C-alpha cells in the first residue's frame, strides 16, 4: 500500500535525490504537494521510506516526476507500484495524457506500463554573462505566455507557468518568451517558447546577458533550431532522457518548445 507524500518527507527525499545528481528544489516539492497532493506518494515499510513519486495535473494532461526508490529496495516492484499509484491519481482527476521524462533506468519500467517514446530531452549547459543585473518586476504578458506554451505542449499549464515565472524573471517578445530561473547551482532557462522561430535568437541573447554561470536548460531534441542556436553559443549536451507519454497522443509541437519549465520533473 502507498501513503501520501508528506511535507516531512521532503528533506529525506532531497537527500536521496542529491545522491542521484538530480537538480531539485524544496520550493518545487512544496508546490507539488500543495497543487496535486493525491498524486504525490511514498512507499513505507515500518518507519522506513523506500520510495517516492510526484505528479502534477495540468489541464487535459499530467506529468509524473521524481520517481525514486532507495537503492537497497530496487528491483522489488516498488517503482512499478508508485507509478501505478500516480497514474491512477491523474486518470481519476480526468487527464487524457500522462507525460514523463525517463532515465535509462526508467525506460523499460515505463514501457511495460504502456508509455510510448515521443522525443528525447537533452540537457544543454553553457555560460551566461550576467548575474544580478535584472529587475524581477519588468512587465510581461501572462496570457501570451500561456498561449505560446499551449501551442508547444497541446495543453494549458497554468499552475506550472505561474510557479516558474514567479520565482524567476520572464522576458517577452512577439509571441515568444523565456523565463530565467535562479538555482544555487547556476541559472536555468525555461520555460522558453516561441511561435516564430526567428524570435528565439534575440531572446537567448537577452537571457544570457542576464544569466549567471553556469546556464542549463532541458531542450527537446525535436527542436533542431534550438540545437543550432545553443551550439553557436558554445553550449553542449551533458545528458539526455526520453520523453514519453501514456494515453491520448498529445498535440506536441517541439519546434515551439525551446526549453522545459522544470528540470524534467514537472514539464
Confirm or reject binding of residue 62 to ligand COA (CB under 6 A).
Answer: no
Confirm or reject binding of residue 221 to ligand COA (CB under 6 A).
Answer: no
Contacts of ligand COA in 7-46 (CB under 6 A): 20
Beta carbons of 152 and 161 less than 8 angstroms apart: no
Q: For residue 161, what is the enclosing H or E element? A: helix 158-166
Confirm or reject binding of residue 48 to ligand COA (CB under 6 A).
Answer: no
Confirm or reject binding of residue 208 to ligand COA (CB under 6 A).
Answer: no
CA distance 36 to 249: 23
Distances (CA, A) of 240 to 62, 119, 137, 263: 21, 10, 34, 12
Which of 39, 106, 220, 267 forms a contact with ligand COA (CB under 6 A)?
A: 106
Cis peptide bond prior to 214, omega within 30° of 0: yes
Q: Which of 57, 41, 63 is nearest to 245 (CA)?
A: 63
Which of 14, 109, 113, 144 forms a contact with ligand COA (CB under 6 A)?
A: 109
Confirm or reject binding of residue 131 to ligand COA (CB under 6 A).
Answer: no
Residue that is written with C-alpha cell 500543495 in the block: 34
Q: Which of 234, 100, 118, 256 is nearest to 178 (CA)?
A: 256
Confirm or reject binding of residue 105 to ligand COA (CB under 6 A).
Answer: yes
Residue 265 carries which DSSP code? S
Beta carbons of 169 and 179 less than 8 angstroms apart: yes
- The cell for 22 is 538530480
- The cell for 115 is 508509455
Which of 11, 45, 76, 185 forms a contact with ligand COA (CB under 6 A)?
A: 76
Nearest to ligand COA of 112, 232 (CB atom) = 112
Give the interface segment with ligand COA, choosing from 24-32, 76-84, 142-150, 251-259 (CB under 6 A): 76-84
Nearest to ligand COA of 106, 168 (CB atom) = 106
Nearest to ligand COA of 90, 102 (CB atom) = 102
Contacts of ligand COA in 177-206 (CB under 6 A): none
Contacts of ligand COA in 84-103 (CB under 6 A): 102-103
3-state helix, strand, coil in the chain (%, to 5): 35, 35, 30
Confirm or reject binding of residue 67 to ligand COA (CB under 6 A).
Answer: yes
Confirm or reject binding of residue 143 to ligand COA (CB under 6 A).
Answer: no
CA distance 123 to 264: 10
Which of 69, 160, 179, 244 forms a contact with ligand COA (CB under 6 A)?
A: 69
Query: What does the binding site for ligand COA look like in residue numbers (CB under 6 A)?
Result: 20, 67-69, 74-80, 102-103, 105-106, 108-109
Amino acid at each position: 500500500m502507498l501513503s501520501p507524500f508528506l511535507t516531512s518527507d521532503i528533506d529525506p527525499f532531497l537527500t536521496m535525490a542529491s545522491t542521484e545528481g538530480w537538480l531539485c528544489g524544496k520550493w518545487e516539492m512544496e508546490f507539488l504537494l500543495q497543487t496535486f497532493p493525491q498524486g504525490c506518494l511514498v512507499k513505507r515499510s515500518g518507519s522506513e521510506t523506500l520510495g517516492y513519486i510526484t505528479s502534477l495535473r495540468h489541464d487535459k494532461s499530467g506529468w509524473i516526476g521524481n520517481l525514486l526508490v532507495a537503492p537497497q529496495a530496487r528491483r522489488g516492484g516498488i517503482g512499478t507500484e508508485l507509478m501505478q499509484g500516480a497514474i491512477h491519481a491523474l486518470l481519476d482527476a480526468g487527464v487524457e495524457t500522462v507525460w514523463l521524462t525517463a532515465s535509462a533506468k526508467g525506460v523499460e519500467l515505463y514501457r511495460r506500463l504502456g508509455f510510448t517514446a515521443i522525443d528525447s530531452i537533452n540537457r544543454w549547459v553553457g555560460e551566461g554573462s550576467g548575474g544580478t543585473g535584472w529587475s524581477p518586476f519588468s512587465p510581461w504578458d501572462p496570457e501570451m505566455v500561456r498561449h505560446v506554451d499551449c501551442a508547444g505542449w497541446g495543453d494549458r499549464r497554468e499552475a506550472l507557468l505561474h510557479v516558474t515565472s514567479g520565482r524567476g524573471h520572464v522576458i517577452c517578445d512577439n509571441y515568444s518568451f523565456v523565463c530565467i530561473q535562479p538555482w544555487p547551482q547556476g541559472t536555468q532557462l525555461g520555460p522558453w517558447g516561441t511561435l516564430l522561430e526567428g524570435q528565439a535568437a534575440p531572446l537567448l541573447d537577452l537571457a544570457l546577458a542576464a544569466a549567471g554561470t553556469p546556464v542549463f536548460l532541458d531542450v527537446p531534441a525535436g527542436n533542431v533550431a534550438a540545437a543550432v542556436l545553443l551550439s553557436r553559443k558554445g553550449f553542449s549536451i551533458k545528458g539526455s532522457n526520453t520523453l514519453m507519454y501514456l494515453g491520448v497522443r498529445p498535440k506536441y509541437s517541439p519546434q515551439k518548445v525551446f526549453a522545459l519549465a522544470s528540470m524534467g520533473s514537472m514539464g
